[in-house]
Structure formats: C-alpha cells, structure tokens
Amino acid sequence: MASQAATSFNGNLKKALAGLRRIDLDGLRWKVFDAKGQVLGRLASQISTVIQGKDKPTYAPNRDDGDMCIVLNAKDVCVTGRKLTNKVYHWHTGYIGHLKQRTLKDQMAKDPTEVIRKAVLRMLPRNKLRDDRDRKLRIFVGGEHPFGDRPLEPYLMPPRQVREMRPRTRRAMVRAQKKAEQQQQDVNDPRRGKRKDRPEVNA
C-alpha cells in the first residue's frame, strides 16, 4: 500500500501517513471533503461533526467513533467579510516578550492546512479523545492524496441558506442602484443635468 501511494503522491508522504498505525481503521469510513470555494467555518463545522461521529446513530461522547476525514484543496478555502486581514492568530514562544501574531492572509500563504486544522480542533471538546480525533484528520494543499487505495466516499456539503436581506440594507442597495443608473444616464446624455446659460440682467 505504501509503495503504491508513494508512486502516485508527490507531497510529503511521511507527514501524510504519520500516526495511521495508532488508529483502528476497522469499520471506519473515509470521507473526502473538497475545500475549493467553501467557507472556512462552515467546512470546519461539518468536518468536526464527522470526525466526532455525531452523524451516526451510535454516537456516544465517551467513545471515539468518528470517521477518517480527508480534506483536499486547502489553498482554495474562502472566508467572508474582512477576516483575511482582520483575523489574527496569536501564540507565545515562552520567552519574555515573545508574543507572536500572524494574520490569516499570511498563514494562508505559509501553510493553508494549518488554517483548517486550527478551525476544526477549536470546535472539538477539550478531552482525552482530542488527539485521537486529530490523527483522523488529513489535510492536503492540492487535490492529490496517498489514500487512493481506500474506499473513499465524497462528502456532499449541505446547501448554504442565505437569510433574507434586512430592510435597511435593501433600501440602501436600491438607493445605490438608482444613483448608479442616474450617473449612467448623465454620462450617456451630456446635455442632461446642465443648466442653460442665462444672460445676467443688470438692474
């Protein structure tokens, strides 16, 4: 198995297969998540549900019944709003004054797999099962992975429900559209909107 995976996978094979011997793979499903175009938080919530086994009727909080999760195209994950520049990761090296920080944009450029890993791990409960669940999460930057010989099942993300626009936002959007149409009409008709030059009348 390892030799077949090594021939088809061009990434870090040692890191990809690390810790598999400590996992009881009997009866586990292999779920494949495609992160391309997915929102980070929504994707992480679905992964955390599968990795804990909450999608099974046999779920118990004291048992690790979760399935293997393979995440592909981590570099193409999306965020909403201004999180790309406003979201900051903090950590301390242990030395005095060595409080480090890094924005989400810089972390995506350095290692996008850690972005998804941190999002998923922070949704898991802080107990003894957390490390075992972390080993079941395999994240890859691109679309290649060394688990082609496993019975893979692509995970279908639920449709995103967009809430109805608030009245104030809708009114602001209508005003912006009307203003843009008015400006377009003024550009097309240069005579419109200009006042006629009237001769000055001296009393």
Q: What's the angle, vertex CA 16, arms to CA 104 and CA 124, rounded to 5?
A: 55
Cα separation, 172 vs 113, whole angstroms: 39
The pair of structure tokens assigned to 192 is 């419109």
pTM for the whole structure: 0.75
Angle between helical axes of 112-121 and 40-52 (0-180°, round to 10): 60
Cα separation, 113 vs 186, whole angstroms: 50
- Domain 13-154 coded CATH 3.40.720.10: no
- Summarize pLDDT for 8-28 with one digit per residue, the tens: 677 788 888 888 888 888 889
- Give domain limits for the chain: 13-154
- Summarize pLDDT for 53-68 with one digit per residue, the tens: 999 999 999 999 999 9
Query: Residue 138 CB: number of other CB atoms within 10 A?
Result: 22
- Summarize pLDDT for 159-170 with one digit per residue, the tens: 877 667 778 888
